[in-house]
Amino acid sequence: MGQCPSGETRARSSEPVDAGQGAAAMIITLFRLFSGKLSTTMRMNRVKAMLFFLCLLWYSASGFLYFELEFKPDLGWGDAIWWALVTMATVGYGDLFPTTFFGRYLVGVPSIIFGIGFLGYIITSVATKLVETRSRRLQGMSSVSLSNHIIIFNYSHVDEVLALVSQFQSDRTMRDKGVCLVDEQLEEIPPRLAEVGVQFVKGSPTDEDTLRNAGLDRATHAIVLSRDRLDRHADDQNLVTVMVIEKINPRVFTIVEVIDTKKKHQFALAGANDIICIGELSVNLIAREIMDPGVNSVFLELSTNARGSEMYIVGIDAGAGSTFRDLQLRGIEKSVSVIGLLKEEVPMLNCEPGTVLRLGDRAIVISADRVGDLVV
């Protein structure tokens, strides 16, 4: 192919320059998209595809200029690259087109044919990578990018996890937190959990790499459930899980479910912030229900965010000499029932009215919604 006239022999308008810049931007964007969507195992194919694209672009643009410049002297490289891109993509705006025989059939037709093939290759590669990425995410093979989130360890039933997520989403201080499920035996996250935004990491809860993939170092809460509530040995694995959690992120608030009440002290030594024994709780509820029918309904009402009033623990901003009675009166003003105090993490219900409030005390209240600190 012969030489194309340079800018020294003819006037250049600003339009070709702008077109050239736009075309260059399109090429860079295309390369970034293409290179980012392919896996590293396809690196050689990616390089070959890019070289093919550059050769095809050069052939189309230079051929278009070579055959058409004689009849369209205002054409520039920006115009040629623009025409090559839209032709290879089969867009065909019609603002530029070859009029010569060789421009059409020696340049235009090959650009269309090979352009369609290259575009199909890109689309197929990107689609394949997207499917692989989604599949890996559903199977828990990818790390999560969550921060300030909640991690749930061990999966027993979808309804249990959904109930937890529902409770979080009903509380204004927790509803914006992401949730990540970590389990060793689950093959793929159930669709119902994926629909509510729960992310999944497959692996042992005691494996540090698994915990890092779940973003434990960025999490605010860790919930360790018992996989099998009929197996008392499940506590042993959960004890190790708590120890690893506290090693990686001592700042995380860890809640653990315990089957054997005798092991609660061990979990406390391991660093668990809160220890819940479902068996102990259920026995107490059954006994209370026998003695006072209706207690179970009251407990359910206070423990769910789905309806009615709930129990909350809120801070106290108390002046010197303030008493529990003063706190109750302030609660009445805010439509809040103050039923007790949390002193040094020890609950005290139905306190004497004259009980003096101390620094660090917190109020146990019943309210239709979460309230801020009570000032007395």
Cα 277 vs. chain centroid, distance in angstroms?
A: 30
Other Cβ atoms within 10 Å of 371 Cβ, number:
15
**218 and 187, same domain (yes or no):** yes
Cα 367 vs. chain centroid, distance in angstroms?
A: 31
Q: What average pLDDT score do residues 119-142 get?
A: 79
Residue 184 in any domain: the answer is: yes
DSSP string, 74-115: T--HHHHHHHHHHHHTT---SSS---SHHIIIIIIHHHHHHH
pLDDT at residue 267, as a whole number: 94
Given 138, 160, 195, the domain boundary residue is 138
pLDDT confidence band for 301 (50 / 70 / 90): confident
pLDDT at residue 8, as a whole number: 38
Query: Is it the case that residue 266 has pLDDT exceeding 90?
Result: yes
Q: What average pLDDT score do residues 164-170 get?
A: 90
Which amino acid belongs to residue 74? D
Residue 25 in any domain: the answer is: yes
**215 and 172, same domain (yes or no):** yes
Given 240, 264, 281, the domain boundary residue is 281
- Residue 41 carries which DSSP code? G
pLDDT at residue 162, as a whole number: 93
Range of the domain at 253: 150-281
**160 and 126, same domain (yes or no):** no
Residue 97 in any domain: the answer is: yes
Residue 244 in any domain: the answer is: yes
**Comparing 311 with 307, which gets the higher pLDDT?**
311
pLDDT at residue 1, as a whole number: 43
pLDDT at residue 108, as a whole number: 82
CA distance 165 to 173: 13
How many structural domains are present in the chain? Answer: 3
Across 39-53, 177-191, 205-219, 347-361, least confident range = 39-53
Structure tokens at 214: 């779940």
Other Cβ atoms within 10 Å of 228 Cβ, number:
11
**320 and 204, same domain (yes or no):** no
pLDDT confidence band for 200 (50 / 70 / 90): very high
Residue 303 in any domain: the answer is: no
Structure tokens at 374: 């009570």
Q: What average pLDDT score do residues 16-23 get?
A: 43
pLDDT at residue 38, as a whole number: 45
> Does this model's pTM top 0.85?
no
DSSP string, 58-69: HHHHHHHHHHHT
Query: Is it the case that residue 6 has pLDDT exceeding 50?
Result: no
pLDDT tens digit sequence for 22-33: 444 545 544 554
Query: Is it the case that residue 75 has pLDDT exceeding 80?
Result: yes
Given 262, 281, 300, the domain boundary residue is 281
Residue 228 in any domain: the answer is: yes
CATH number of the domain to which 218 belongs:
3.40.50.720
pLDDT at residue 241, as a whole number: 95
Residue 220 in any domain: the answer is: yes
Instruction: Find, among 96, 104, 126, 114, the residue nearest to 53 by Cα.
Output: 114
CATH number of the domain to which 31 belongs:
1.10.287.70
Query: Is it the case that residue 56 has pLDDT exceeding 80?
Result: yes
Q: What average pLDDT score do residues 104-132 get?
A: 81
pLDDT at residue 4, as a whole number: 42
CA distance 53 to 27: 10
**127 and 217, same domain (yes or no):** no
**161 and 271, same domain (yes or no):** yes
Across 37-46, 162-171, 297-306, 363-372, least confident range = 37-46
Per the CB < 8 A criterion, the answer to whether 307 and 289 are in contact is no
**227 and 178, same domain (yes or no):** yes
* pLDDT averaged over every residue in the chain: 83
**155 and 223, same domain (yes or no):** yes
Residue 174 in any domain: the answer is: yes
CA distance 295 to 314: 24
- Residue 306 carries which DSSP code? S
Across 41-45, 89-93, 162-166, 219-223, least confident range = 41-45
**58 and 85, same domain (yes or no):** yes
